[in-house]
Amino acid sequence: MNLVESLLHALKDHGAREIFGIPGDFALPYFRIIEESEILPLYTLSHEPGVGFAADATARIRGGLGVAAVTYGAGAFNMVNAVAAAYAEKSPVVVLSGGPGKGEASSGLLLHHQAKTLDSQLQIFKEITCDQVKLDDAARAPADIARVLASCLRNSEPVYIEIPRDMVREPCAPVVREAPRAIDRDALAACVDEILGRLDVAKRPVLMAGVEVRRFGLEEKVADLSRRLGLPVVTSFMGRGLLTDCDAPLVGTYMGVAGLPDVTQLVESSDGLFLLGEIISDTNFAVSETRIDLRQTIQAHNGQVTLGYHMYANMPLAALVDEMLARVKGNADKAFPVAHYQYPKGLVADGETIAPTDIAKAVNDLFAEHGRLPIASDIGDCLFTAMEIEQTALIAPGYYATMGFGVPAGLGLQATSGQRPLILVGDGAFQMTGWELGNCKRYGWDPIVLLFNNASWEMLRTFQPESGFNDLGHWGFAEMAAGLGGDGVRVSTRAELKAALDKAIATRGRFQLIEVTIPRGVLSTTLARFVAGVKRISTK
Ligand code: TPP
């Protein structure tokens, strides 16, 4: 076995199912082995941000590793934002980068694609990955690969592996998986005692589930735990889509001033808020109507548990949930009654112009008739509109908030799960990475894309309406679809929207782009509530 084959087998053994990538001369040797060995399928895209987002999406939707393969310098640097997003939102992406050969480093010449020093790239990726290795020693490589992949899964954060181009065919031993780290059972028991004690005395305990619950494959267990404890469950904005297929007392998504008043009241009046696997960020908490005192919460995330001023280190989320389940037997009397929220439905298919909330209605009608689709959403009003769509699997950059995620993430979703995705994207974000749709034809992907075209960076306009630079031109996206190998249609009325969605769901094998014309300044109900709420609390 050579070094790259050993690496590919290890990736597969750690849960990777495919590789997204774009080669370059520093990467050609290892890409050749990826293709010829057929250990993992390779999907090439057009621009490295798309590669990073698609790989990230595979990890988010399936659990396990996502793999993004690029070339040195121009390729890897082009993917920094996508890897930063994965780091911020705890997605285990393995970055593979080709690199200068060991011999080239001593040539005395600057190498093309070199930014400053030959290791500038490694240094930059150190900031946005939790472990790194340059595979410049074939004897050490198996242990190094095992360590890095274990770090990736344990932390649910990206890692960086650089492959010097003259190393790829070096003979190499297979990678042996690292044994899981030992857990201090006494500390775990004390920690669970304290959590259960706090929940027991709370009059209004609430469990808020965050993305780590999904990253560590704990959705069913957390649903079971919440049932046994009789705890109502909410997700954060970032955690939207979690637990949708589990039998959990799921009340809704906490969005503070932007959310449903019942959910906001439940969370903000809780005297036992249990934040499980949550990202404690401004998008999740700075929008509170009533300030949440985080010191009063129980927090379990990033491998540690904090209760007030107590902190338990080395508490992996999975071990914590297992230990809680082992202790809590369940009490049917405690079952929390969940009032099911009625999402907007029943689009009136008339000649009126389309508002974002009409899109939510149309999608809810579609789901009612044909079943739910998983959603990949970009940032923008499309993501606020997604909060008005029936709970379904959702991947979106709800915290890091990078534009450009939606389309490539949808492709990653379909590649890894085989499910047809619904992609929600604004015109500004589509201008960044929408062209990746041109790759659908080669791979047989057929997402349905709802492009919210308000000819505007509308999210920005809402906060600074006086600026003219947020106006965008009207690009003919619908017409471009045919050239990219899909079907495109522009809709401007609610009747046209319904007809287009009906046709899209019935047409398989080609991507379906529905360019929805939305008048500038028309917001979804949720974004309008968010803007009004933020203005209200900022003038308090
Ligand atoms: N660049 C990136 C990569 N990400 C960002 N979040 C921004 C810039 C800043 N930004 C946030 S929202 C936004 C911009 C430029 C406008 C989004 O426009 P669009 O995708 O059309 O959605 P809309 O706001 O109109 O709903």
pLDDT tens track for 481-529:
999 999 999 999 999 999 999 999 999 999 999 999 999 999 999 999 9
Mutation test residue for ligand 1: of 425, 431, 459, 463, the one with most atoms within 8 Å of CB:
459
> What is the model's pLDDT at position 540?
66
Angle between helix 80-88 and 48-62 (nearest 10): 20
> What is the model's pLDDT at position 339?
74
Q: How far is the CA of 403 from the centre of ligand 1 (A)?
A: 6
| Ligand 1 nearest-atom number relative to CA 462 | 24
User: In degrees rounded to 5, what are phi and psi of residue 51?
Assistant: -60, -45
- Residue whose C-alpha is closest to residue 215's, from 156, 154, 284: 156
**Structural tokens at position 202:** 């709370």
**Structural tokens at position 346:** 């029943």
> Quick one: pLDDT band at residue 109, thresholds 50, 70, 90?
confident
Q: How far is the CA of 174 from the centre of ligand 1 (A)?
A: 45
ipTM: 0.99
Which residue, by CA, sits nearest to atom 1 of ligand 1? 403
| Ligand 1 nearest-atom number relative to CA 461 | 24
Which residue, by CA, sits nearest to atom 8 of ligand 1? 403
Q: How far is the CA of 457 from the centre of ligand 1 (A)?
A: 6
197 torsion bin: left (phi>0), alpha (psi -120 to 50), beta (else): alpha
- What residues are in contact with ligand 1 under a 6 Å CB criterion? 379-381, 401-404, 426-429, 452, 454, 456-460
* Helix residue spans in 185-279 (DSSP H): 185-201, 211-215, 219-229, 261-268
Per-residue pLDDT of 306-336, as tens digits, reads 998 899 999 999 999 999 999 998 776 676 7
Q: How far is the CA of 379 from the centre of ligand 1 (A)?
A: 7
Lowest-pLDDT range of 66-80, 208-222, 273-287: 273-287
> Is this structure's pTM higher than 0.80?
yes
| Ligand 1 nearest-atom number relative to CA 380 | 26
Q: How far is the CA of 392 from the centre of ligand 1 (A)?
A: 24
Per-residue pLDDT of 87-107, as tens digits, reads 999 999 999 999 999 888 777
207 forms beta bridges with 233, 274
